[in-house]
Homo-oligomer: A and B are copies of this chain.
Amino acid sequence: MDDKKSFHMTSEEFRRYGKELIDWIADYHEMIETFPVLSQASPGQVRSGLPDEPPRQGEAFSAMLKDVEDVILPGITHWQSPDFFAFFPANTSGPSILGELLSAGLGVQGMLWATSPACTELETHVLDWVAGMLGLPARFTSSGSGGGVIQDSASSALLCALLAARERATDFVSNEQGCDGRLTAYGSTQTHSSLEKAMRIAGLGRENLRQIAVDENFAMSAQALDAAIRRDRAAGKVPSFVCATVGTTSSTGFDPLPQIADICRDHGLWLHVDGAMAGSAAICPEFRGLQEGVERADSYCFNPHKWLFTNFDCDCFYVADRQALVRTLTVLPEYLRNQASESGAVFDYRDWQIPLGRRFRALKLWFVVRHYGVEGLQYHIREHVRLAQQFASWVRDHPDFELTVDPPLNLVCFRHRAGDDFNQRLLERLNAGGKIYLTHTRLAERFTLRLCVGQTHTEERHVRRAWKLICETAHLLEKG
């Protein structure tokens, strides 16, 4: 530097610490099974290991890495452990981590095409690839009327879809004058909570959300949906949006898309399909039938950051009519004007999302698809499904346990026959033991354990060990 003074990390230091950290991460993944899966930290424990004040002078990287081990690791719930069976997975992989590293290293901000054409074009291109991999029709791609964009989460994708639906239903008057409380939207009792959150954020109100009843497989009743829409229309409401789910959070239930699409067509509603977790399965042709009808949706999303080896955040959001979305979300101040945008020849992804700025997230998805190849990804998805189905067969064959519902894919919902309290105690005991991590839900008002097979390195031995542990722990609890 001109004045020879700088506090920046030098290039040599970056190389040295960077390589140390790469090794640290590799070591961490090699050791990951030795940690309790669910963090055993108590509230405040992590903070108690941190100084009250930030340092006045800079510290050595080694001091930071030591604190990561001593203070941070005990407060980590190890999502990447092969013994993590909780929630839905948030799996990742070597190529994804390296893609994220490259994105951070390049440090571009892709709000406009012009602020890094590669950031926009790679994203468009990879999302077109992925659309093909899932068997989505051309209308969801950039060569058709629509296109794909990476969102941080399915919640944000759903919010964007709801906003575009709101504007389509009001001929873009809501954007100008605000909402008037007349629009209604529809999900099922099993739809993800982000729909209720989006209704509130969008100013439509929770009371204008209809939670349609489900059948014995926890799939939305198309008949009940149709009736609810007719009832609302008769009452002067303006039905405008349906969120159908392929793979609900509680039990991977699949809403009947063809019937729902018919209803949306007949009544002029926007159909959004949320395939956050199960969408990844559609890269295998044999599972694609589960989301038959998705080709008729107005929008669709799924999360490679759940079950496609790409680290959070990476939600692929597709719309059939990109103009509806862009017109809903665009604002053009002078300081963002540029020739490329005004030519109309490019996408400016800031107009496809809530925030303005955006990272170069396509890199990690591109790396993942290229590292594995389509066949590699298919192999691992199939393997996870096989392991979950094997687990389900063990449950089926055990006298004390039962399946709450037949598992369509990689999530098994099951319970001990001894009732809700017993199952709750069983869950707590299992998670406190640190060897596996499961979560629960309620299905038909019954406390149900969920075991989801989807972490990158989960193999047969992990699933087998989990089942053995569940049986042993239940046995111990039975004896009191």
> How many chain-A residues does the 8 Å CB contact rule pick out?
167
Give the chain B neighbours of A358 by CB distance below 8 A: 312
The reply to whether A205 and B334 contact each other, CB–CB distance below 8 Å, is no
The yes or no answer to A333 lying at the interface (CB within 8 A) is yes
Q: How far is the CB of A150 from chain B (nearest CB, A)?
A: 12
The yes or no answer to A98 lying at the interface (CB within 8 A) is yes
The reply to whether A58 and B107 contact each other, CB–CB distance below 8 Å, is no
With contact pairs A163-B201, A311-B107, A373-B59 given, residues A440 and B79 touching in the complex (Cβ less than 8 Å): no
Q: Give the residue name and chain of the B residue nearest to A40 (CB).
A: B117
Give the chain B neighbours of A332 by CB distance below 8 A: 193
Q: Give the residue name and chain of the B residue nearest to A55 (CB).
A: B373
Q: How far is the CB of A100 from chain B (nearest CB, A)?
A: 4
The reply to whether A250 and B204 contact each other, CB–CB distance below 8 Å, is no
The reply to whether B206 and A335 contact each other, CB–CB distance below 8 Å, is no
Chain A 324-353 interface 0/1 with B at a Cβ cutoff of 8 Å (1 = within): 000011011111100010010110000000
Give the chain B neighbours of A100 by CB distance below 8 A: 100-101, 104
Chain A 137-148 interface 0/1 with B at a Cβ cutoff of 8 Å (1 = within): 000000000000
The yes or no answer to A367 lying at the interface (CB within 8 A) is yes
The reply to whether B26 and A116 contact each other, CB–CB distance below 8 Å, is no
Query: How many copies are assembled?
Result: 2
Q: How far is the CB of A372 from chain B (nearest CB, A)?
A: 5
The reply to whether B116 and A379 contact each other, CB–CB distance below 8 Å, is no
Give the chain B neighbours of A107 by CB distance below 8 A: 79-80, 90-92, 97, 311-312
One of B28, B46, B104 near A117 (C-beta < 8 A): B46
Give the chain B neighbours of A335 by CB distance below 8 A: 87, 249-250, 439-441, 450
The reply to whether A153 and B26 contact each other, CB–CB distance below 8 Å, is no
Q: Give the residue name and chain of the B residue nearest to A182 (CB).
A: B178
Q: 8 Å CB contacts to B: which residues of A164-208? A: 166, 174-181, 183, 192-194, 196-197, 200-208
Give bound CA distance, A112 to B444, whole Å.
Answer: 25
One of B8, B19, B80, B117 near A94 (C-beta < 8 A): B8
One of B55, B121, B333 near A44 (C-beta < 8 A): B121
Q: Give the residue name and chain of the B residue nearest to A370 (CB).
A: B59
Which of A61-69, A392-400, A469-477 makes up part of the contact surface?
A61-69
The reply to whether B116 and A77 contact each other, CB–CB distance below 8 Å, is yes
Give bound CA distance, A183 to B71, whole Å.
Answer: 46
Most central of A106, A331, A461 by chain B CB within 10 Å: A106
The reply to whether A122 and B46 contact each other, CB–CB distance below 8 Å, is yes
Q: 8 Å CB contacts to B: which residues of A69-125? A: 71-80, 87, 90-98, 100-102, 104-109, 113-119, 121-122, 124-125
Contacts A11-B29, A18-B19, A18-B26 known; list 12 others, CB within 8 Å.
A2-B459, A6-B380, A17-B98, A44-B121, A50-B125, A58-B372, A73-B118, A75-B117, A107-B311, A192-B333, A193-B356, A197-B356
9 chain-A/chain-B pairs, Cβ below 8 angstroms: A8-B93, A18-B94, A45-B121, A54-B130, A54-B133, A92-B107, A193-B333, A200-B328, A202-B203
